[in-house]
Amino acid sequence: MALIIFDYDGVLADTLDDLLRFGQEACDQLGVKHLVTKDDLENLEVMSFSSYGRACEVPEHLVDEFVKISLNLFAEKNSPPAIFEGLPTVVQHLSTKHQIAIVTTNSSHNVKAFLAKHGLDSLVHAVYGVDSPGSKAQKISLAQTQLPGDHEHGSVFMVGDSLSDVLAAKEASVTSVAVTWGHQSLKTLLRGKPDHVISAPQQLIGIVEQ
């Protein structure tokens, strides 16, 4: 039995347009004169709302407020974001034999609303959001200890779309799987030297079950 840990934004949830729009709205509310673009996400060393705010030229004393506004805008959406095509089937397949968790810098509330909308809430064993203490690497390690099962070396996978996801996987000594459909380019992902790179969700099954 493997443990598959997914990042949320850009891996499961197609949130790019929301991130850009909400980032701009947060800047506008805070009086920050910055035009938010995808480059603000592409160049992040650490994919988090706080580092995103700093990339958008938000002054340090307003970064926490930027994070709060952004998360609230996600929570107040009429409907949770779309899921990337093919992922529901992949998650359903993997959940029959393996354990699934989510580690994210978004809020657990937002993630759980997303999972419920797409009928995946019963398939995910744990969600570690921004409201859970610790770094992403620490949350990966926490998932390993809190979820039952014998997760032998090499049978824990961190699936992410950012350089920081890859680096967190390495810090936690688990297998890193970088996806190319998310928020950062393949060039950026390769800087972290991921163990695997996939361009379609179905490829994850082969990596986990090889």
Same domain for 118 and 205: yes
Same domain for 117 and 31: no
CA 123, 125, 131, 133 torsion-angle sign: negative
Predicted confidence (pLDDT) at residue 153 exceeds the cutoff of 80? no
pLDDT digit string, tens, across residues 20-50: 999 999 999 999 999 999 999 988 888 899 9
Please report the pLDDT score of residue 1 as a whole number.
87
CB 103 within 8 A of CB 169: no
Tokens of 108: 């657990």
Please report the pLDDT score of residue 36 as a whole number.
97
CB 160 within 8 A of CB 11: yes
**Residue span of the structural domain in which 122 resides:** 3-14+82-209
Same domain for 34 and 92: no
Please report the pLDDT score of residue 78 as a whole number.
85
Average pLDDT, the chain: 94
Same domain for 133 and 70: no
Q: Taking the C-alpha atoms of 46, 185, 172 and 150 in order, what is their torsion angle to the nearest 10 degrees?
A: 140
Cross-strand partners of 6: 102, 159
Q: What angle do CA 114, 119, 120 make, to 5 degrees?
A: 75
| Average pLDDT score over residue span 144-157 | 75
Rounded Cα distance, 7 and 158, in Å = 8
Instruction: Count structural domains, the chain.
Output: 2
Give the whole-number percent of the chain exceeding pLDDT 70: 97
Cross-strand partners of 197: 178
Q: Give, to the nearest 10 degrees, the angle between helix 163-171 and helix 136-146.
A: 50
Residue 86: which H helix or E strand, with range?
none
Q: Which of 29, 54, 75 is the last residue of a domain?
A: 75
**pTM, two decimal places:** 0.90
Cβ-Cβ contacts under 8 Å for 148 (sequence gap 6 or more): none
Which residue would you say has higher pLDDT here, 148 or 192?
192
Rounded Cα distance, 74 and 81, in Å = 9
Nearest to 166 by CA among 143, 200, 189: 189
Tokens of 6: 């997914």
Rounded Cα distance, 30 and 191, in Å = 33
Same domain for 32 and 103: no
| Average pLDDT score over residue span 147-163 | 80
- Residue 199: CB atoms within 10 A of its CB come to 10
Same domain for 150 and 138: yes
Please report the pLDDT score of residue 149 as a whole number.
64
> Residue 82: what are its φ and ψ, rounded to 5°?
-70, 155
